[in-house]
């Protein structure tokens, strides 16, 4: 969950809780990251928006908020964001919730990204476990969507925002008010009529479809068109969007997205059983089953459900390791173990996804660093990953030098006591680039040297990696008064071990 910077408009305290940042804003209110000084732990504070409380619907919003407190207090489950307290601040109610260190699915899987079948199975089973638990209490979420499903730092999924849930036993009716988010609402929600737990299964079907297809099952530029599609039109075939998705998975999605509630799964447990039954029906020749068995030899990911476990297969469309200079199987495994210390068993999947998106090792490190929630640990992780890659490249360079020496080729060496202008100039460039790129600068300079023959070319290549105009100007200013000859020839051998 990413934090927004603290602004002047933030309250200093809500009750006894110190407010540190805004986590998000929704239809019901504002969610803050806060700190509880008594228990000494971070928490999330959900405060009703003042403008809603000042409207003619104040009583309705207060009733719904009080209802949320009662509902959330009954949901004590590993896959549901917990509620710690309920109180008033200057006459306005607020909830004290578990602070989740992580990101939502909408952040983890950007629009256009296609998740692997194993990732989706892992996600679906945990969400279904949470829904099965809540439904047993007569609680319907009514707004299952990627933004309300959080991926924690240890790889666990947590469902949040029960603010628009209703107890089915209370007898509340929606009247003309539709509760939910377009593109994820069930057809019966669109009509504003009575709903049961099967509306949550429809919404989860929309989430699963989007994760696999990389686009929403029902989308348009305006809400009216979305609702028309939800009520009247079938969703586009999942296998037309992504032929590699197994027919059994597509069948589960089709059933969850049935227009009539009676045609869907009867319960979250039934839908979970369908997912868990997939591995039991696969044959030995099925590539998905084969990959699952291979993955079991290396790693088993335990799902939060006490009813079973899954061992997700690796993505079959992984980028070849050879596409990244300096990375081999050993380097990847070391980086994966380092990442797993921060985000848990999902490290393998996020590493593979980043390898698909990145075009160079340094870009790979930046993408992976974004997954580490804590800033101080994030910098350390990126630094460690760069060292792993650099060490591998140094081995390659050392081997090349040894081969060159063995062939009798001459290697220029500095004369003892004489200055090394090229090496000194390269060190100055490295220091200037560090002001912008941080510890990755040394790795970037090393890569640029492999494509440079003069200092001018080296500076130009280093300048290309700086996106910000002001930072580019700063880099140039730092080097402006150096006075070394731009035509001075350079090579990777000018980087001595004591410098780098």
Selecting among 129, 143, 200, 315, the annotated active-site residue is 143
Q: What is the number of other CB atoms lying within 10 angstroms of the CB of residue 425?
A: 22
Question: 83-89 and 29-36 as β-strands: parallel, antiparallel, unpaired?
Answer: unpaired
Q: What is the number of other CB atoms lying within 10 angstroms of the CB of residue 99?
A: 23
CB 83 within 8 A of CB 161: no
Residue where the block lists tokens 């009520």: 231
Measured CA to CA, the distance from residue 240 to residue 217 in angstroms comes to: 12
Largest CA distance in the chain: 90
3-state secondary structure the chain: CCCECCCCCCCCEECCEEEEEEEEECCCEEEEEEEECCCCEEEEEEEECHHHHCCCCHHHHHHHHHHHHHHHHHCCCCCECCEEEEEEECCEEEEEEECCCEEEHHHHCCCCCCCCHHHHHHHHHHHHHHHHHHHHCCEECCCCCHHHEEEECCCCEEECCCCCCEEHHHCCCCCCCCCCCCCCCCHHHHHCCCCCCHHHHHHHHHHHHHHHHCCCCCCCCCHHHHHHHHHHCCCCCHHHHCCCCCHHHHHHHHHHCCCCHHHCCCCHHHHHHHHHCHHHHCCCCCHHHHHHHHHHCCCCECCCCCCCCECCCCCCCCCCHHHCCCCCHHHHHHHHHHHHHHHHHHHHHHHHHHHHHCCCHHHHHHHHHCCCCCHHHHHHHHHHHHHHHHHHHHHHHHHHHHHHHHCCCCCCCCCCCCCCHHHHHHHHHHHHHHHHHHHHHHHHHHHHHCCCCEHHHHHHHHHHCCCCHHHHHHHHHHHHCCCCCCCCECCHHHCCCCCC
Measured CA to CA, the distance from residue 119 to residue 310 in angstroms comes to: 10
CB 166 within 8 A of CB 114: no
Is 143 tagged catalytic?
Answer: yes
32, β-bridge pairs: 22, 45
Q: Which residues are catalytic?
A: 143
């Amino acid at each position: 969950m990413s934090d927004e910077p603290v602004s002047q408009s933030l309250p200093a305290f809500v009750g006894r809780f110190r407010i540190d940042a805004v986590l998000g804003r929704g239809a019901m209110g504002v969610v803050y990251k806060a700190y509880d000084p008594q228990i000494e732990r971070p928490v999330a504070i959900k405060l009703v928006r003042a403008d809603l409380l000042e409207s003619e619907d104040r009583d309705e919003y207060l009733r719904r908020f009080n209802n949320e407190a009662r509902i959330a207090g009954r949901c004590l489950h590993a896959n549901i964001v917990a509620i710690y307290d309920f109180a008033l601040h200057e006459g306005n109610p607020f909830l004290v919730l578990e602070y989740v260190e992580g990101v939502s699915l909408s952040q983890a899987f950007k629009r256009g990204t296609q998740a692997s079948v194993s990732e989706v199975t892992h996600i679906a089973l945990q969400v279904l476990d949470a829904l099965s638990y809540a439904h047993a209490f007569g609680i319907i979420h009514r707004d299952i969507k990627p933004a309300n499903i959080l991926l924690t730092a240890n790889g666990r999924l947590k469902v949040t925002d029960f603010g628009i849930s209703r107890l089915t036993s209370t007898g509340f009716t929606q009247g003309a008010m539709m509760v939910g988010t377009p593109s994820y609402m069930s057809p019966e929600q669109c009509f504003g009529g009575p709903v049961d737990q099967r509306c949550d299964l429809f919404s989860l079907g929309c989430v699963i479809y989007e994760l696999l297809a990389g686009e929403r099952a029902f989308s348009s530029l305006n809400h009216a068109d979305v609702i028309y599609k939800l009520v009247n039109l079938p969703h586009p075939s999942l296998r037309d969007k992504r032929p590699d998705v197994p027919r059994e998975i597509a069948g589960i999605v089709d059933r969850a997205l049935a227009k009539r509630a009676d045609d869907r799964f009867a319960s979250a447990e039934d839908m979970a059983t369908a997912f868990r039954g997939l591995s039991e029906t696969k044959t030995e020749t099925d590539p998905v089953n084969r990959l699952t068995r291979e993955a079991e030899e290396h790693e088993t990911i335990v799902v939060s459900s006490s009813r079973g476990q899954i061992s997700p297969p690796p993505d079959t469309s992984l980028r070849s390791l050879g596409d990244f200079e300096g990375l081999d199987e050993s380097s990847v495994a070391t980086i994966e173990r380092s990442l797993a210390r921060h985000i848990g068993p999902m490290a393998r999947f996020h590493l593979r996804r980043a390898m698909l998106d990145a075009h160079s090792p340094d870009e790979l490190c930046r993408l992976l660093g974004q997954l580490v929630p804590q800033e101080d640990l994030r910098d350390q992780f990126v630094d460690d990953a760069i060292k792993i890659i650099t060490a591998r490249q140094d081995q390659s360079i050392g081997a090349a030098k040894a081969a060159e020496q063995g062939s009798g080729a001459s290697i220029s060496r500095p004369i003892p006591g004489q200055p090394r202008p090229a090496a000194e100039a390269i060190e100055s460039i490295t220091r200037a680039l560090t002001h912008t790129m941080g510890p990755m600068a040394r790795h970037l300079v090393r890569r640029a040297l492999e494509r440079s023959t003069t200092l001018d070319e080296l500076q130009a290549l280093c300048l290309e990696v700086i996106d910000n105009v002001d930072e580019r100007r700063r880099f140039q200013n730092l080097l402006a008064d150096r006075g070394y000859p731009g035509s001075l020839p350079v090579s990777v051998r000018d980087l001595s071990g004591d410098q780098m």
